[in-house]
Amino acid sequence: MQNFVIQGGKKLSGTITVNTSKNAAVALLAASVMNHGTTRLKNMPHIEEVNRWVEVLESVGMDMQWKGRDLTITPPKEIDINAIDRNAAGKTRSVILLCGALAGSLKEFALPQVGGCRLGARSIGPHAQAIESFGVTLKARAHSLDIARKGALKSPGRFALSESGDTVTENALFVAAQTKGVTEIRFASANYMVQDVCYFLKACGVKIEGIGTTTLRVHGIGIINKDVTYTLSEDPIEAMFFIAVAIATGSSFTIARCPYDFIELELTKLRMMGLEYKMGDFYKAHNKATTLVDITIEKSRLKALPDKIEERPFPGINMDNLPFFAVIAAKARGTTLLHDWAYENRAIYFTELSKLGANVKLLDQHRVEVTGPTKLSSAKMSCPPALRPGAVLLVAMLGARGESVLKDVYMINRGYENLAQRLQSIGASIEMKEV
């Protein structure tokens, strides 16, 4: 078990750089399964979620070779899905992406039931609806997901997703790319990881129109067989984490390589709350598509917004960024209403901030009120079984004077790389201790 030990309340300074994204990394690892050529993914994050995916893909026969931060993936002649590492697969919900990725090469297979963050009911129904449009059935059993098709994949032409979800859109993209003909996916997610998948598929020879919109036209090519190199784009959720750290600690420092399009609304809301920040010139990420910017957060006095803050599909406030507003609201004058409508249980985790001195009132399973400003205090706590709520507690502990301990932080390490060392580089007193 790994714990974070934090001496909080310290002012931070300098520059910290945003890493590439967890959600794009796992989606592209799933996409590599479709490619009969060699896939090289550059600047991959060394995080636990990626480690589990490497274990899964190695278990089914993929050759996975690290060289620094680059990962080269060579497929076998045949995927041995029956040999899948069930323990590793059961620790990540994103393994559901193999439903679409393997639909073109395997007529019948089973995957372990999905794991990941405990955030309440998360139906596989939209995934089933998406891939069934191509003639593939997906049925949930007690311990497995069973996938089958009778004939060749057939494009439905134009169809609508029943949910504008990120992984649902990616599964639909995977099947459409392996289906000859043009498929128009309506009500698609336009989020950052979906765009990375689209740019990767384009590099594989799949023409996709409408990237960044909710309608994607995919010109499927059937078998994908191309040696391809692709560099991931940066993680907007990590950028938001560091913005929240600056606010919680009352610090001024620079956050480099922020994917601006995917945090623009969050920054707009924060400016309305009184946050002062400066931005440098825009520039392109290594994928030559994502727009980046360096942002310097200034010490500011915040006030609560009169309107509620809620998540929305892109271009709304990102669902994974909403939790950070809970700790930010604790530093703002007035009462902030947060509406986390997408998950049944996640808002309940926000009340854990009360153990650090925040004034958090749970209205129902989707809504909380946070009243500030409050002076955060240190505490010893266990990390919640969910990535972003755990990261929010870490942010609060960095802003709380005295020694805090956050125990069993595997969930945070699923999505963030070397946080202790990177935060130390800007002056934080934080250590990772194993017990």
Measure the CA dihedral 354/355/357/358, to 10°. Answer: -20
* Cβ neighbourhood burial of 83 (10 Å; 0-12, 13-18, 19+): exposed
Last residue of a domain, one of 196, 231, 266: 231
Tens-digit pLDDT profile for residues 267-281: 999 999 999 999 999
Last residue of a domain, one of 183, 204, 231: 231
Whether 288 and 310 share a structural domain:
yes
Whether 202 and 53 share a structural domain:
yes
Whether 42 and 140 share a structural domain:
yes
What is the domain-level CATH number for residue 365?
3.65.10.10
Quote the number of domains for the chain.
2
CA angle 166, 308, 328 (to 5 degrees): 80
Whether 209 and 243 share a structural domain:
no
pLDDT at 115: 55
Whether 172 and 238 share a structural domain:
no
pLDDT at 270: 98
- 65 conformational bin, left if phi > 0, alpha if psi -120 to 50, beta if neither: beta
Whether 276 and 412 share a structural domain:
yes
Tens-digit pLDDT profile for residues 159-202: 999 999 999 999 999 999 999 999 999 999 999 999 999 999 99
Whether 217 and 255 share a structural domain:
no
Quote the domain boundaries for residue 368.
Answer: 2-19+234-434
Residues in the chain: 435
Confidence of residue 343 (pLDDT cuts 50, 70, 90): confident
Whether 390 and 274 share a structural domain:
yes
Q: Which of 134-143, 163-172, 290-299, 352-361 has the lowest mean pLDDT?
A: 134-143
pLDDT at 120: 44
Measure the CA dihedral 148/149/150/152, to 10°. Answer: -150
- 405 conformational bin, left if phi > 0, alpha if psi -120 to 50, beta if neither: beta
Tens-digit pLDDT profile for residues 211-258: 999 999 999 999 999 999 999 999 999 999 999 999 999 999 999 999
Whether 225 and 238 share a structural domain:
no
* Cβ neighbourhood burial of 405 (10 Å; 0-12, 13-18, 19+): middle
Last residue of a domain, one of 231, 252, 268: 231
C-beta contacts of 134-138 below 8 A and 24+ residues apart: 134/103, 134/175, 134/176, 134/179, 134/183, 136/99, 136/103, 136/175, 138/99
Whether 157 and 291 share a structural domain:
no
Whether 310 and 289 share a structural domain:
yes
Tens-digit pLDDT profile for residues 292-321: 999 999 999 999 999 999 999 999 999 999
Task: Please check the confidence at residue 117 and state whether its pLDDT lies above 50.
Answer: no
Tens-digit pLDDT profile for residues 320-329: 999 999 999 9
Task: Please check the confidence at residue 136 and state whether its pLDDT lies above 90.
Answer: yes
pLDDT at 344: 80
**What residues are paired with 362 via a beta bridge?**
368
Whether 78 and 12 share a structural domain:
no
